[in-house]
C-alpha cells in the first residue's frame, strides 16, 4: 500500500469501541485521511511511505475537540478573577466587551486562542462569539477545524442590531462556508434567558433545514433555574423541550443543575451535554453530574469555556479535571476513568458536533487529525498505562506534533501555520489598551 | 550594599502581609539569604552585585512547599488508577510495596520525585515513607529542603518491626540531621487507625521534647470516621484531642470530613491543615471545606499527596485545583482567590512545618528559596495580574530558575544537581520489574 506518511509510535490510543491501547503500531496517512493502523513490523513491510516519522516514547491520540469556547476572549484572560459572578460581568467583562469588541479584537483574540489550542493538541473547537466570520477566516488560515457559531442574542451590539439581524449574518456565514472541509457552522443562541422564544423557534426550524447543531448555554447556574421558574413557570430544559429543541442537534453547555427526570429526557431525546468543569468551578456555578449522565447513556463532551473563566484553553488539563471532579461528585474512585475522559475530549465531542463520521477517533477512512505526545518527561515516568499517564499526569507542552486532515500544523512543538511573535505582540497591544480602561488592573510592567 | 547575586524580574510576588505584586523590582541574594528587595533603578544604583541576572517577562515567587507527599511512590505512578479504594490498596499498591520497597526503591523513587518537584518550583517537601534516612540523604545531595518523616505504624515491614522500632529508627534520623539547614524531621505516625494509642502518646511527648511537627493523615474519608466511632466511640479528631495532640505542632492531612465544632477546635488550638485536593478527588475521599477553615482562621497548606493518587507532584497545578475547587465547594466565585492559593502553597506550608522563620516568603533575612517563571507563553498572555495568571494559567514547565538557600538548582529549566538520564533509566528499570508482577499492567513497549 502507498501512503504519504507513516508515523510510528510506542502507543496509539485510537478511542475505538474497546478503548484499546495499541503498542508499537504505526498510522499510515494518505490524502488527508488515515489509510491504515497496523503493527510496526507489518507497517514496515506493507507500506510504501513517502515519509516515515519515528516517535519513540510518544503516544498518538485523536485530535482533541474543545466543544465549547469563546475564542476571542483570550484577550480578557485574567482581567478580573476571584469576583462574584455579577461583579465580574457587570463591572469588568461586559464593559470591556462593549468598548473593545470589533473585527480586529476577534481576529487577534482568535489567533491567540488558535495558537494556544493547536499547541496543546486541540484540532477542532466549537465557538460562540460576535463576528464569527472573522473567527472562521482565522481558523481557516491556520488549517484548523471549527464550528463557527451563528450567534443570536436579543440585545443589539456593534455586530448586529436584533435577533433577526444576528440570524441574517449567521446565515450568510453558513452560505459562505457551505461544503468547506474544515469550517462548519452551528446555531449559537446564547441561552434561554438571553434569546426570546420567537428567535429560538426560528433557530429550531432553520437547524432542521440546514442540518446543523444548536449550541446553547443551559442550566449553568441555580439562579438561571430560579429566574426561569419565576418568569416562565417552568425550568429552562422544559421550555426548550416545549419549543421542540431537545434532540440529536442540541448541544447543551454546562448542565450543572439537573434532576433525574431531566437526565432521562436528555437520554431519550439523544441530546448532547458539554461539560466545562474548570469554568463551573471558577464561577461556582455548580457540579455537573457527569457519571450519572454517562450511566444514563447521554453523550457528554468536554469544553474549556472562554479564557476569561478558566483561564487557559487546555483540554488535556480539562480531561484531568473532569476525571478527578467526576469521581469526587459521584463519590466513587472508579467513576469517569481515564479512558472515558479521553473519549469525552475526542469522539464524544465529534458526536456532539455531528462530525464523528469525519474525526474524533483514529480509524481508517477518517480524517488524519492526529496528536503526538512525548511521555518521556520525569512527571510521566515510569509508564504503566499510557492513557492513565496522559490523563492524570501529562502536560500540554508534551504535545510535539499535530496534524489536521493530514496537514502538519505543529512540528516539534512549533506552529507551522501561525507566527507566535506577531500574535503575542498583538496581545500585548490589546493589554495596554484594555488595562488603561479597567481600574482594577495593576499598571503595566 | 554588596551581594553575590542580583535578580531583576518584571513581577515579584513576595507573599507579604499585603499580598503585594511588585513591578520591576530586584532581589539581592547574599550568603544564601535575601539581602534586599527593591525597585529596579534603586537596585542598579545601590547593589554591588557579583552577578546580575535579568529575567524579562518573568515572575519571582517563593519556593513552593509541598506539605504532604510520599515521594518514593513516584515509582508506582499510574500503576492502578480508576479503581475503588480498597481494590487499589489491597490488589495493587500494598502488594507492590510489600514486594519492592527497600532502600534502593526509596532512593530511586525519591530521586525521581526530587527531579520532578525542583523542575516544577517546589523547594521543600514534607514526606512520609519507609526508610526516611534514604530520602533525607537523596534530598541533601540534591540541595533541596525536606522534613523527613519519622514514620510510625503498628504493623511490621522490612524497614521496622514494631511501633517502638519505627520510633527508634526515626530518632536516629533526627539525631543524625540535628542542626542541618536543609534536612529537618517531623514525626509521621500514619493515622489514628494505623497507630495505636500508646505509640501516639509517645509521639506526643517526644514531639514536645524535640520541638518537631506531628504529620498525620486525619479525617481523610467518611469510612475513617465511621470506623473510629464504632471502635472508639469518638471521632478521630476528638481522640487526638484527648491524647493532647491538637496544637501548633499538629499537621493534619486531608480533613475532608469536618463538623463546624471541629473547625473551631482546630482554630482555637492553632492546629494546621494540609489540603490535598487532587488526591481527595481521585480517591473520592470527600471535599475539604477550605474556605470555611480559612475564615475560621485555621492555617491551611497544600500538598500533592503521593504520585500514586494524583498522579504528578505539581504544586502549581495543585494551587489551581485548590482555588477552583474551593470556589465550587463554597458556592462562591470569590472564595480561595489566587493570592490565597499562592499563600497556601508557600508561607502557610512553612508555618505548618514550623520553618516560616526561614522560608515561605520573599523577605530580607529569609533563606533565598526563589522560583522564576517565564509568563511569556501564549497561554499566559496577555497578562493583567501576575498572580492570577500564575495560579489559573501557568504550567510547571514555565519554571526556568530555582534557588534553594541561594544555591541555584535549576537553570533554564535544567537541573544542576541531578542527572535526569540516569534517574529516568532507573525508573524504567523499576517499571520492568514491577509491571511483570502486576497482572493489570499492559506488557511493556
State the pLDDT at residue A439.
63
Q: Are strands A122-127 and A64-69 parallel, antiparallel or unpaired?
A: parallel
Give the domains, in start order, of chain B with CATH numbers: 2-62+368-412 (2.30.40.10), 64-353 (3.20.20.140)
Rounded to whole angstroms, the Cα distance separating A69 from A286 reads 18
Q: Which residue of A has its CA nearest to B84?
A: A333
State the pLDDT at residue B34.
98
C-alpha distances in Å from residue B97, one per residue of A422, B106, B350, B431 = 52, 11, 30, 13
Query: Would the pLDDT of B298 be above 60?
Result: yes
> How many angstroms separate the most distant Cα atoms in chain B?
68
Choose from A381, A385, A418, A425 for mutation: most chain B CBs within 10 A: A381
Interface contact A395-B392, CB threshold 8 A? no
Residue B436 pLDDT grade (very low, low, confident, very high; cuts 50, 70, 90): confident
> What is the residue-averaged pLDDT of chain B?
96
ipTM of the complex: 0.97
Interface contact A314-B381, CB threshold 8 A? no
Rounded to whole angstroms, the Cα distance separating A55 from B67 reads 37
CA A97 to chain centre: 22
Contact of B445 with chain A, judged by CB distance below 8 Å, is answered with yes
- Label residue A79 exposed, middle or buried (CB < 10 Å: 0-12, 13-18, 19+): buried
- Average pLDDT, stretch B300-310? 97
In B, which residues are within 8 Å of A442 by CB distance? 21, 23, 384-386
Choose from B13, B55, B82, B385 for mutation: most chain A CBs within 10 A: B82
Q: How many CB atoms lie within 10 A of CB B141?
A: 13
State the pLDDT at residue B29.
98
Give B90 or B110, the one with higher predicted confidence. Answer: B110
Rounded to whole angstroms, the Cα distance separating B101 from B106 reads 7
In A, which residues are within 8 Å of B8 by CB distance? none
Query: Would the pLDDT of B442 be above 60?
Result: no
Which of B24, B313, B434 lies closest to A445 in CB terms? B24
Query: Would the pLDDT of B163 be above 50?
Result: yes
In A, which residues are within 8 Å of B286 by CB distance? 328
Rounded to whole angstroms, the Cα distance separating B360 from B362 reads 7
In A, which residues are within 8 Å of B24 by CB distance? 445
State the pLDDT at residue A444.
39
Taking the CA atoms of residue A171, residue A175, residue A178 and residue A180 in that order, the dihedral angle to the nearest 10 degrees is: -100
Interface contact A384-B431, CB threshold 8 A? yes
Query: Would the pLDDT of B363 be above 50?
Result: yes
Q: Which residue of A has its CA nearest to B286?
A: A328
SS3 assignment, position A337 = coil
In A, which residues are within 8 Å of B389 by CB distance? 77-78, 311
Rounded to whole angstroms, the Cα distance separating B343 from B101 reads 35
DSSP codes joined into one string, A57-109: EEEEEEPEEEEEE-GGGGGGTTSS-SS-HHHIIIIIIHHHHHHH-SHHHHHHH
Residue B406 has, within 13 A of its CA and on its CB side, a CA count of 19
* Residue B408 contacts residue B416 (beta carbons within 8 Å): yes
State the pLDDT at residue A96.
93
Q: Are strands A399-404 and A407-411 parallel, antiparallel or unpaired?
A: antiparallel
In B, which residues are within 8 Å of A80 by CB distance? 384
Residues in chain A with pLDDT values less than 50: 442-445
State the pLDDT at residue B439.
62
Q: What is the pLDDT of residues B217-228, one digit of tens each?
A: 999 999 999 999
Query: Would the pLDDT of B7 be above 60?
Result: yes
C-alpha distances in Å from residue A142, one per residue of A5, A306, B283 = 21, 20, 41
Residue B443 pLDDT grade (very low, low, confident, very high; cuts 50, 70, 90): very low
Distance from CA of B394 to the nearest CA of A (A): 8
Kindly give, in sequence order, each residue whose CB lies less than 8 Å from that of residue B205, ignoring residues fewer than 6 positions away.
none
**Alpha-helical runs (H) found in A211-358:** 222-232, 236-243, 260-269, 277-282, 290-295, 315-330, 338-344, 347-352
In B, which residues are within 8 Å of A75 by CB distance? 382
Contact of B249 with chain A, judged by CB distance below 8 Å, is answered with no
Interface contact A392-B312, CB threshold 8 A? yes
C-alpha distances in Å from residue A336, one per residue of A18, A300, A339, B40 = 16, 11, 8, 50
Name the DSSP class of A44. Answer: H
Distance from CA of B382 to the nearest CA of A (A): 5
The set of cell numbers assigned to A365 is 477512512
Contact of A327 with chain B, judged by CB distance below 8 Å, is answered with yes
Distance from CA of A184 to the nearest CA of B (A): 25
Interface contact B82-A337, CB threshold 8 A? yes
Q: Which residue of A has its CA nearest to B282?
A: A324
The set of cell numbers assigned to B95 is 502488594
In A, which residues are within 8 Å of B439 by CB distance? none
Contact of B89 with chain A, judged by CB distance below 8 Å, is answered with no
The set of cell numbers assigned to B110 is 525519591
Which of A88, A120, A332 lies closest to B284 in CB terms? A332
Contact of A376 with chain B, judged by CB distance below 8 Å, is answered with yes
State the pLDDT at residue A125.
98
Contact of B378 with chain A, judged by CB distance below 8 Å, is answered with yes
DSSP codes joined into one string, A288-311: --HHHHHHTT-EEEE----GGGTS
State the pLDDT at residue B89.
86
Which of B119, B431, B443 lies closest to A382 in CB terms? B431
Interface contact A393-B311, CB threshold 8 A? yes
State the pLDDT at residue A440.
62
In B, which residues are within 8 Å of A430 by CB distance? 382
Interface contact B392-A334, CB threshold 8 A? no
Interface contact A283-B445, CB threshold 8 A? no
Residue A252 has, within 13 A of its CA and on its CB side, a CA count of 32
- Average pLDDT, stretch B79-94? 89
Q: Are strands B22-30 and B2-12 parallel, antiparallel or unpaired?
A: antiparallel
Taking CB atoms within 8 Å and a gap of at least 24, the contacts of B84-90 are: B84/A332, B84/A333, B84/A334, B85/A333, B85/B221, B85/B283, B85/B284, B88/A333, B88/B283
Taking the CA atoms of residue B277, residue B282, residue B283 and residue B287 in that order, the dihedral angle to the nearest 10 degrees is: 40
Interface contact B325-A281, CB threshold 8 A? yes
Amino acid at each position: 500500500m502507498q501512503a504519504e506518511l507513516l508515523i510510528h509510535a510506542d502507543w496509539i490510543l485510537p478511542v475505538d469501541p474497546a478503548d484499546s491501547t495499541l503498542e508499537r503500531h504505526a498510522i499510515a496517512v494518505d490524502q488527508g485521511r488515515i489509510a491504515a493502523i497496523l503493527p510496526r513490523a507489518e507497517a514496515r513491510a506493507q507500506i510504501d511511505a513517502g515519509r516515515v516519522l519515528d516517535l519513540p516514547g510518544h503516544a498518538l491520540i485523536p485530535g482533541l475537540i474543545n466543544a465549547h469556547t469563546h475564542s476571542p476572549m483570550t484577550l480578557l484572560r485574567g482581567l478580573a478573577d476571584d469576583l462574584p459572578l455579577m461583579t465580574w460581568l457587570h463591572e469588568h467583562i461586559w464593559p470591556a466587551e462593549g468598548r473593545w469588541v470589533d473585527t480586529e479584537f476577534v481576529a487577534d483574540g482568535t489567533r491567540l486562542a488558535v495558537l494556544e489550542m493547536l499547541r496543546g493538541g486541540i484540532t477542532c473547537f466549537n465557538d460562540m462569539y460576535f463576528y464569527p466570520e472573522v473567527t472562521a477566516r482565522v481558523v481557516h488560515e491556520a488549517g484548523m477545524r471549527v464550528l463557527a457559531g451563528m450567534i443570536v442574542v436579543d440585545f443589539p451590539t456593534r455586530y448586529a442590531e436584533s435577533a433577526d439581524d444576528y440570524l441574517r449574518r449567521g446565515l450568510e456565514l453558513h452560505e459562505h462556508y457551505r461544503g468547506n472541509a474544515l469550517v462548519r457552522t452551528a446555531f449559537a443562541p446564547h441561552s434561554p434567558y438571553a434569546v426570546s422564544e420567537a428567535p429560538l423557534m426560528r433557530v429550531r426550524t432553520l437547524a432542521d433545514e440546514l442540518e446543523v447543531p444548536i449550541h446553547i448555554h443551559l442550566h449553568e447556574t441555580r439562579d438561571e433555574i430560579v429566574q426561569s421558574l419565576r418568569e416562565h413557570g417552568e425550568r429552562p430544559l422544559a421550555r426548550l423541550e416545549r419549543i421542540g429543541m431537545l434532540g440529536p442537534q442540541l448541544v447543551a453547555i454546562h448542565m450543572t443543575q439537573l434532576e433525574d427526570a431531566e437526565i432521562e429526557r436528555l437520554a431519550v431525546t439523544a441530546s448532547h451535554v458539554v461539560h466545562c468543569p474548570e469554568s463551573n468551578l471558577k464561577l461556582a456555578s455548580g457540579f455537573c453530574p457527569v457519571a450519572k449522565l454517562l450511566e444514563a447513556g447521554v453523550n457528554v463532551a468536554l469544553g474549556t469555556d472562554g479564557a476569561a473563566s478558566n483561564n487557559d484553553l487546555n483540554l488535556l488539563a480539562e480531561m484531568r479535571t473532569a476525571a478527578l471532579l467526576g469521581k469526587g461528585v459521584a463519590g466513587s474512585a472508579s467513576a469517569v476513568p481515564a479512558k472515558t475522559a479521553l473519549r469525552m475530549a475526542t469522539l464524544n465531542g465529534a458526536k456532539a458536533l455531528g462530525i464523528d463520521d469525519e474525526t474524533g477517533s483514529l480509524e481508517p477512512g477518517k480524517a488524519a487529525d492526529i496528536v503526538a505526545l512525548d511521555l518521556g518527561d520525569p512527571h510521566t515516568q515510569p509508564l504503566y498505562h499510557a492513557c492513565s499517564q496522559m490523563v492524570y499526569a501529562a502536560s500540554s507542552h508534551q504535545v510535539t506534533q499535530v496534524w489536521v486532515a493530514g496537514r502538519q500544523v505543529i512540528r516539534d512543538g512549533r506552529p507551522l501555520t501561525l507566527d507566535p511573535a506577531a500574535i503575542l505582540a498583538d496581545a500585548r497591544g490589546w493589554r495596554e489598551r484594555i488595562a488603561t480602561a479597567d481600574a482594577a488592573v495593576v499598571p503595566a510592567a
